[in-house]
Structure 1
Amino acid sequence: MIHLLKEVGRGKRGARDLTYEEALQAAEAILGLTATPAQIGAFFIAERIKMESVEELEAFVSVLRKHAARSDLPQGIDCAGPYDGRKSSFISTIATSFVLAAAGLPVTLHGSASLPPKWGMTLADVFAAMGISDPSLSRELCLEAARQTGVLYAHAETWCPPLAKLRPIREELGMRTVLNTAEKFADYGHSPFLTFGVYHNTVFDRLGRLIMNLGYERALIIQGSEGSDELYIHRPTRTYRIEHGEASLQIIDPESFGLDTPLPEVDWTPAEQAAVTGQVLQGKGNMAFMYQVLLNAAVRLHLADRVQSVEEGLYTGKALLESGKPRELYEKWQAVLKNQPLTV
């Protein structure tokens, strides 16, 4: 590990990118925990200063996937949002997932307890507010819920144990590391389709090349709310679509679909996130959140070639919500994960 540290840690001008083979060695040492905590921390900081290359990221993803449990369920779409959570926006991904599942598109959600640098609310926090606590979420239970509903939730530190062991170092550093990107590509559901959230459009090209190397059939990089993979409903969203080995910038404007809606001010807590999710799936609550779920579902259905256009996806999602099927799947999913019988 020391010889690799010397290459990436020579400072902004002297550092060089590791080759793919060298990056594999570093990833194996870090995720296999054969490197010392000091070496791991030094590597993370050096890479943060240098900025990770596509080859380095690909190597970390490859090794991380080797250490992860990955399901053989029917393949669908992976929704890769920020593991450091959210502070000031609605996590529409949860409700969106059940609309997609109702349309026959399996969904994989994944995350962990909050991480630096943002320390925001995560999926795990919202699920805990629903009465679904991570310690009880065995892989078997999550897989059973996915079989019955089409929505798989993978708690990353359960499905990929090295991430749990590296948490103390990441918390002590308190900043973004190469794992903040790599962990979102774990692909627990072997998904051919991907939505991936980013903070800055400056990473579009680099991540686009990485996604091509990883072999996804289609993907959409989204510069969404708080770095999420969720489209805004009150203004246009920059996205980068990857398909057939090519990437193109696309601006998705809710106004062009008649959905542009001001967002209400909400003091978001995990309990409030859970409450609004339930309201949307019941066809109730503020229309901004309903429209946000419909637009995100429609774009994903189009990405996965389940509909011919975003407009068709909007009609499909609206009809599904009115039918009550997404809500039924949501209630069944909760019942399975709480290991409770579903009340009819």
Structure 2
Amino acid sequence: RGVPASSFVPAVLAAMGVPAVLHGLESVGPKYGATHHKVLKAAGIKVDFSPAQATQQLKRLGWTYIDQASFAPQLHALIPLRQRMVKRQVLTTVETMLGPIRARSTTHCMGGYVHKAYPPIYASLARQAGFTSAMFVRGVEGGTIPSLQQAGRLFAYQAQGAEYQVDLAPQDLGIKAETRAVPLPTELIPADDALIDSAALAKQAASKGLAALAGEHGLTYDSLVYACAICLSHLKRYPDLPSAAQAVRKVLDSGQALNVFKAAQTSI
């Protein structure tokens, strides 16, 4: 329903001194959309690192992507079965908490949700999985970026404690949009009951993401500002969301985030 932007969040966080790991897989039903794997590949990023290679890139550049096929091949082998089942399975929830690369001291989790029942479930899973803190954003399409148009919320916990709610208003961060997310180009809108062309969508997302990293203002830029500000504020790197958002804008406008991303394009 929109052009995804979250694949570019880790590079921005890395440019701001927060090491970030993104994990995912190439394709899974029932939506078969533009996954992180497809978007990053379209943007020139290597998506088939071994765990050791991904860890080395994380140390060197501050961010990395690692695919489920690499770090959990037995789980990944269940994809054909999951596709035959069609409906959402428990694996769809649990796999987001795997945390394939962990820090020695503290590791934090950022995820998204749609349905109101999920935050306490995600929080419980994250504690059980050993995440020091976690934040779960009520995001567009269940992702980590809230609506750019309307008020939103997230649930979080700190130091393995109880979860709490944070209310969000994009206007407080200087974001003013007429749509909730980056809209699909007309040529990519699928016919009724048809699957979207995920490869074409991934290319579109890669193009818009690279432009935003280069400081081009627009809805993808705003999406990165919003998601990164949420993370940085949660980690106490900045006192509040508006100040975190301003810091993110400076990193995007300077081209620093783009340089961090481009370094991974030429990574081993």
Give yes or no for TM over 0.5.
yes
Q: Does 1:250 align with 2:186?
A: no
- Kept in 2: contact 1:235–1:260 (CA 8 A): no
Q: Partners of 1:314 and 1:230 in 2: how far apart? A: 13
User: Quick one: structure 1 residues 214 and 118, their matched pair in 2 at CA, closer, same or farther if it must change by over 3 Å?
Assistant: same
TM-score (norm 1): 0.67
Relative distance call for 1:238 and 1:323 in structure 2 (3 A) is same
**Structure 2 contact 11–260 (Cα < 8 Å) conserved:** yes
Q: What is the SS of the residue equivalent to 1:183?
A: helix
Q: Which residue of 2 aligns with 1:194?
A: 109
Alignment match, 1:146: 58
Deviation per residue, 1:166-217 (Å, 9 max, x gap):
1221122122111111111111122521111112012222222333333422
Residue 16 (structure 2) pairs with residue 103 (structure 1) = yes
Alpha carbons of structure 1 residues 132 and 281: separation in structure 2 relative to 1, 3 Å? closer
Unaligned runs of 5+ in 2: 189-200
C-alpha separation in 2, matches of 1:257 and 1:127: 27
Match of 2:4 among 91, 97, 118: 91
Rg bigger for which structure? Answer: 1
1:283 aligns with 2:201: no
Distance in structure 2 (CA, Å) of the matches to 1:252 and 1:90: 22
Q: Is the 8 A contact 1:230 1:296 kept in 2?
A: yes
- 1:117 is matched with 30
CA change 1:159–1:214 in 2 (3 A) is closer
Residue 266 (structure 1) aligned with residue 210 (structure 2): no
Match of 2:258 in 1: 327
Structure 2 letter corresponding to 1:182: V
Give % identity.
21
- Matched with 2:140 is 225
Matched to 1:246, the amino acid is A
The one-letter code sitting in structure 2 at the alignment partner of 1:248 is Y
- 1:161 is the counterpart of 2:73: yes
> SS of the residue aligned with 1:313?
helix
Q: Is the 8 A contact 1:302 1:310 kept in 2?
A: yes
Aligned equivalents of 1:189, 1:176: Cα separation in 2: 26
Q: Distance in 1 between matches of 2:231 and 2:45?
A: 26
> Which structure has greater helix proportion?
1
Native 8 Å contact 2:144 2:227 kept in 1: no
* Separation in 2, partners of 1:131, 1:188: 22
Please, which runs of 5 or more residues in structure 1 have no aligned partner?
1-87, 340-344
Question: How far 1:122 moved relative to its partner?
Answer: 0.3
Amino acid corresponding to residue 251 of structure 1 in structure 2: D
| 2:42 is aligned with 1:129 | yes
CA 1:213/1:159 → structure 2, altered by over 3 Å: closer, same or farther? closer
Aligned to 2:192: none
Size of the alignment, in residue pairs? 248
- Report the AA paired with residue 335 of structure 1: T
Name the counterpart of 1:211: 126
Q: What value does the CA root-mean-square deviation take over the aligned residues?
A: 1.9
Contact persistence 2:7–2:39 (CA under 8 A): no
Task: Give SS of 1:109's match.
Answer: strand
**Residue type matched to 1:295 in 2?**
Y
TM-aligned CA deviation for residue 147 of structure 1: 2.2
Distance 1:228 1:257 in 2: 19
Query: Which residue matches 2:191?
Result: none
Displacement of 1:261:
1.2
1:322 maps to amino acid: D
* Deviation, structure 1 residue 234: 1.6
1:309 to 240, 249, 253: 240
**Contact in 2 for aligned 1:95/1:280 (Cα 8 Å):** no
Instruction: Specify the alignment match of 2:229 in structure 1.
Output: 298
